Structure 1
């Protein structure tokens, strides 16, 4: 139970930081860009491109979290737990796979 709360809270905080453009150094594609290119990109646009899909994933995780703790069906709880684990992997893949392009320029 505590682990689920920690995961949901961590992913939500990360999404909010990305949307605000403050946690872009955690993104492998952005981190490996030359400084010259980073100066031409708008951090808020890049952050929104990553953070909004992750925030959607976080909302679905909260729904699964509520199913786990409010449902009486053990089968439904099991599916919700597997769904949460899958969404953690998906959200990490979103960060890793989003292409940072010239469309994000200032």
Structure 2
């Protein structure tokens, strides 16, 4: 199952609080990338956070993985996990009448 993971630093969290977690966070992302959980990672264009495309067996499995990210554990990253499913809207363009 695929998931969109949106992570943002909450308002009021100082940059200094975040910076001490950057390297451990990058390490965890790399571990999950190597384990084929994280498929891609991008900054949000205004640099307010990051977006990860991920795969896991279920939403509960994905949430358990997310809870292990150092910035999430430290409370300096607010996350939203959105379950995704295949888009089937294109089918109507090619359906035979």
Normalization by structure 1: what TM-score? 0.34
Greater helix share, 1 or 2? 1
- Higher strand proportion: 2
